[in-house]
Amino acid sequence: MARGKRGNAKGSKHRRDDRASPPEDLSRVRAMLRKLGLEVQEVLPDGNCLFRSFAMQLKEVETFHDEFRQNCCDWLRDHQEMFQDFVDLSEEGFDDYDEYVSNMRQSTTWGGQVELTALCGAYDVAALVIRAEGVNYEIKAKEVDPEVTRCILLAYHDGEHYNSVVWEDGRQHTLAEARERFGSSEAPMAEPDVLARNIKPAEFIMKLGAGGAIEGGFKIPNLRRAPFWKFIWTQQFVARQHFFSVHHAGLLFSMAFFWWTGWFDTAPVERRDKYYMNGAKFRLQSAYHNPGTRPAYKIAQEQAKIRYFYRGFDHPYTINEAKDQLWKLRENWVIQNYPGVQYPYVSKQMMPPQLPDKMYKIATIDATEAKH
């Protein structure tokens, strides 16, 4: 029933005696259930429709609705801690929870989801409510075993009315059987022709390996039912989405590719140091600590050795690096054979001053003179 201030529904919009022209929502529910082999069993819309539908399901006679109402209210009274937080007393116009339950005991008082949950707990059943919008949801007062728990089928339409739904064989079924027929509580129950147009798991689950040796491998699900090249063309050249809207699979592939190639890795130590080793400051220091020699070629050899053996293979030589090493070899020969040649990029060669030879001599005592 529609939620609102609880009260007597006589004379309200629940009084609908003209059943020859059912509302549009009821017609949709009938057509939807008829395709599944079920029928809507209408009950009197007098404010007791929830309890009449429950009585029709369990006793096949809707006149026992008052008995179901009283048992529902007894359950509400005995389990106040379970329901009191779900009842908005201020909106309903009651002072306390007991007044709410007392009002619910009166005939023709509308019942809603709270009362439906209490009915499921009182009679140890589960309920499956089918809506005209095509969405079904389960109602349970506690955790149950779907294989043995009876399931009450109710149709809810027009935002105000419950009707009973019967199976094609006329007997009651378990919650597991209802789930198999209608789907889970989270899944929408749409028209069969709509479900037939949905993408099937077999369309995006493929077998990998020779002869399908590996099962369950996933490829990209094409939910658009359009070629991916057309989607990418639209994304790149029509919508101009080049960076921020990247397909999730393409992004993962790009991350794996750049990690594997190491394009964006930081430069290793020898790559960073070679700019210093070829700079003027290093040439000054090497000239000072290695007077008369030019260790450029040795440095280049060390660089090459580090390049190929430090943490695996790095990028191979480029033509410029090979020319640079040959130039250093020529420069080294020139400096060693012509010591007067200055180092490149150095205005004045930093050589230690040559001291007189006498300062290098160590005083010694002649042994022959010492005997005398």
Tens-place pLDDT, residues 91-122: 777 888 888 999 999 988 888 888 988 999 89
**CATH class of the structural domain 24-196:** alpha beta
Euclidean distance between CA atoms 101 and 109, whole angstroms: 11
Mean pLDDT of 274-286: 65
The first and second tokens of residue 185, run together, are 């509580």
The residue behind tokens 């999730």 is: 248
Pair type for strands 136-139 and 161-166? unpaired
Q: Are 4 and 14 in contact (CB under 8 A)?
A: no
The SS3 of residue 38 is coil
299-346 per-position pLDDT tens digit: 666 666 665 555 454 555 566 667 777 777 777 777 677 666 555 544
Is residue 42 predicted with pLDDT exceeding 60?
yes
Residue 32: name the closest of 191, 174, 142, 170 by CA: 191
What are the CA-CA distances from residue 56 to residues 38, 40, 246, 256 (Å)?
15, 11, 55, 61
* Residue-range domain boundaries for the chain: 24-196, 201-261, 269-357
pTM over the 0.95 mark: no
CB contact at 8 A, 36 and 190: no
Contacts 24+ apart (CB under 8 A), 205-210: none
Buried b (16+ CB within 10 A) or exposed e, 20-42: eebeebbebbbebbeeeebebbb
Residue 21, pLDDT score: 38
Residue 205 C-alpha from the chain's centroid: 19
> What pLDDT was estimated at residue 360?
47
Helix (H, G, I), strand (E, B) or coil at 166: strand
